[in-house]
């Protein structure tokens, strides 16, 4: 990825705010609550313990990975979305992955036009390896609130 500065707006800017709030920034790789090597703002792809990144590299990584999550939302959702809803869903996909979203009842509800029902699915996704995590409970509540805004 280039060293260019990122200028973000709309859904991506909202998504960056929510992801960075709940993931936090850690420039040295660590194990997340379920034991997955993680770095920066929750990035897991190819991460090895002992790895480090600069703050600028972490910002670029977040913008790139969240951009991919937003693109997945655009591909999978067949109805128009306001920026708030797209940001909430982008944050969700960033956290759980495109495959989980693609298979979810949340996506089916969205594409059927039941956006309230879809947004109300978010709190169900507060578990990792069968354990409800307080951080995920708070994150899903924030995503749900953002999703329900018009």
φ, ψ dihedrals at 25, nearest 5° = -110, 125
The number of residues making up the chain comes to: 150
Q: How far apart are CA 30 and CA 150, in angstroms?
A: 37
Known catalytic residues are 23, 32
- Closest Cα partner for 114 from 141, 85, 94, 142? 85
Residue 23 CB-density burial (10 A; 0-12 exposed, 13-18 middle, 19+ buried): buried
């Amino acid at each position: 990825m280039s060293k260019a500065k990122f200028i973000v707006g709309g859904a991506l800017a909202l998504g960056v705010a929510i992801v960075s709030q709940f993931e936090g920034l850690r420039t040295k790789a660590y194990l997340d609550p379920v034991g997955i090597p993680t770095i920066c703002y929750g990035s897991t792809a190819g991460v090895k313990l002992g790895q480090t990144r600069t703050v600028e590299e972490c910002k670029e990584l977040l913008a790139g990975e969240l951009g991919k999550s937003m693109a997945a939302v655009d591909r999978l959702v067949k109805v128009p979305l306001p920026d708030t809803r797209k940001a909430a869903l982008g944050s969700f996909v960033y956290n759980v992955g495109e495959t989980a979203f693609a298979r979810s009842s949340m996506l089916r509800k969205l594409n059927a036009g039941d956006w309230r029902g879809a947004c109300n699915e978010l709190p169900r996704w507060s578990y990792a390896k069968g354990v409800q995590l307080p951080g995920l409970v708070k994150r899903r509540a924030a995503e749900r609130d953002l999703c329900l805004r018009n």
